[in-house]
Structure 1
Amino acid sequence: MEGYASLFGVVDLGRDRVERGAFAASLARRGPRGIRFLFQHDPAEPIGAWTSISEDVRGLRVSGRLNLAVARAREVHALLRQGALDGLSIGFRAVRSVREAAGVRRLIEIDLWEVSVVTFPMLPDARVAAVKRRVSPAAARRPHAREAAAR
Structure 2
Amino acid sequence: MSADLIRSFTPDLQIRSAAKGGDGRTVEGIAVPYARPQRIDSTLVEQFARGAFAHQLRAPNRVRFTREHMVHGGALIGRAIELRDDAAGLWGAWRVSATPAGDETLTLLEDGVLDELSIGFRARQDRRLEDGTIERVRADLVEVSVVLAGAYGRGALVSAVREAVHDELPDAPVCTCGAANRAAQAAQILAGLPTLPVA
Give the drift of 1:129. Answer: 4.3
TM superposition shift of 1:103: 3.5
Residues 107-122 of structure 1 aligned to structure 2 (within 5 Å):
107-122=136-151
- Counterpart of 2:38 in 1: which secondary structure? coil
Residue 38 (str. 1) matches residue 66 (str. 2): yes
Where structure 2 has 5 or more consecutive residues not aligned to the other structure, the ranges are 1-26, 167-199
TM-score, normalization: structure 2? 0.61
Q: Which residues in structure 2 correspond to 1:1-151 (within 5 Å)? A: 1-14=27-40, 15-28=45-58, 31-42=59-70, 45-68=75-98, 70-124=99-153, 125-133=155-163, 135=165
The total of aligned residue pairs comes to: 134
Identity %: 35
Structure 1 Cα separation of the partners of residues 162 and 54 of structure 2: 28
Secondary structure at 2:123 match in 1: strand
Give the structure with the larger strand fraction. Answer: 1
Does the 8 Å CA contact 1:5/1:60 hold for their aligned counterparts?
A: yes
Distance in 1 (CA, whole Å) between partners of 2:39 and 2:103 is 29
Runs of 4+ in 1 over 4 A off after TM superposition: none
**Contact 1:2-1:130 at 8 Å conserved across structures:** no
Residue equivalent to 2:17:
none
| Structure 1: runs of 5+ lacking an equivalent | 137-151
1:34-73 residue CA offsets vs partner (Å, 9 max, x unmatched): 01111111255110121111111110111112112x1111
Distance 2:97 2:55 in 1: 27
TM-score (norm 1): 0.78
The residue type equivalent to 2:69 in the other structure is H
Instruction: Kindly provide the amino acid, as one letter, of the partner of residue 122 in structure 2.
Output: R
Deviations 1:62-103 (A, max 9, x none): 1112112x1111111111000010101111111100133543
